[in-house]
Structure 1
Amino acid sequence: MSASISGSVKIIVVTFFALVAFAANSILCRLALGEEKIDPASFTAIRLASGALVLLLLVISQQPRTFSFWGSWQSSIMLFIYAVCFSFAYVSLDTATGALILFGTVQMTMLLFSYFKGVRLHRIEWSGVVLAFAGLVYLMLPGAQFPGWKGTVLMILSGIAWGFYSLWGRDSVQALKDTAFNFIRTLPFVVILALVFYSQATISIDGAIYAVLSGAIASGVGYAIWYVALAELSTTQSAVVQLFVPVLAALGGVIILDEAVTLRLLIAGTMILGGILFVVLGRYYLAQAKLKR
């Protein structure tokens, strides 16, 4: 019994730190790019490179005499797409809006993936999907508070990539090693990115520090912790807990960056997160109802 409680506490703590890391990435990226302390391509390159270095050192420190490749190219490609779109999107999006679009898209991606894998939705779940989609449409409607098409589309692409990265991460049995080599495999793409945007590179000391913190701690260590959590969480649970990230990011944006939370964002956020929560919990209670029959 005590072992079971200890295991549950461990998963709660691990999951919490992973969610804080996700929110920290949004805040660090916005700190760096919102104040133009670094360009988005350089931020992405430093972020992924520093994450790869720290994770590789952690792997070597655990098993200094053995070396083998883990992770996968498909996960690495999704990681790179997520990171580069994330950075370029945060040039124009504020912290809360970016996190809301990102994790709203992540959950929709995971739900649609389950649907195409044969998991059919009940009318209750479809109602939630419609509500969430309507919230996203409302957020993107033309108006004074519209976050802008470029940043919005880039963050949606980032969310789709992160959704697949999370889905494939559920099969990980060596979280630290898989995360390390996923980061290492992004380095060829990082070099290409740096060369393409070399002429536009602007890097300050503060910008580089934010990128290193985002890559080494919030991304590298944070994603390894997330892989540990994914191994113990159901798809439903992993979907629900990520809904807290936009809330944490919004709080960080208000406290650290002095960003305003608009009425449109509050309404759209309630619709998107409420709709997804409706889908997830609806599926859970429908499953429980079937078991009682």
Structure 2
Amino acid sequence: MTIDVMFPYYGDVAMMKAAVSSVLAQTDTDFKLTIVDDGFPDDSLPAYFEELVASDDRIVYFKNETNLGANGNYRKCVGLIEHEIVVIMGADDLMKPNYLATVRAAFENPEVDIVQPGIEVIDENGQVYLPLMDRIKAAMRRSLVGKASSAIVEGEALAANLIDGNWLYFPSVAWRASAIKTHNFRQGYDVVQDLALALDVIMDGGKMFVTGTVCFQYRRHRESDSSVRALDGRRFAEERRFFDEKVREFTALNWTRAARAARFHVTSRLNAASLLPKVVSKRMWPGLRTLSAHVVKP
């Protein structure tokens, strides 16, 4: 059973090449790597991609005629899925050699729609580290699955837990194709699009397999797009809109615990509060107003 590795690309060239190499180094070799280039401006790329495709018949390449942005390129990737299992790989992250074998084994359970494997966080230089954000994520994950090496989780308990503190690492998550095709990425979201998709699957009865087997390296940049969006307030404006939407949807399902978690979104508020000193130091006054409102507004 071939696994689709979808690879939306726009960004650092060296990190992209390392990510591609990590896919090609998998012990499980039954995969199709589909690269969807959103038009990153680098003159060396055409020759690289041409050579890459010529060297391995498991690789296909598309270049968008116009830049679609993250959400649009992810949605295009969903439209190109051909096989039962799919991962939408981050173009600066790294698969460890056992990644595909690990997620394939998890999908042997026909009830599983989402797989979250164990991950390591790496910095810009590829060094493993564990910042505060990821220690909190690990604690939130343990609060749901306990100390078990693996568990299947579902329903309102999972939705409320992810709203309280999203511990998913989207580029490492594998999906059953039918689930991701049914729901796709909601348009209008650029920061929370991954959580929105996961919750749509969960609200539709989808089950998640969580395993502690470490098989993926997630790269956390100090000045990532999401970090910049956080400081100028765009991230939290989007999160506010998303949480308001989830309150309505959870209420319609009679998921009162999840609706309450979405209404108060405590971790998101704490994250905004932690950034206030940095926003002040940079004199980003519009961002300060947005973050302050996010922290205090009920």
Q: Provide TM-score, normalisation by structure 2.
A: 0.28
Higher normalized helix content (fraction of residues): 1
Higher relative contact order (CA 8 A, sep 6+): 1
Structure 1 or 2: larger strand share? 2
TM-score (norm 1): 0.29
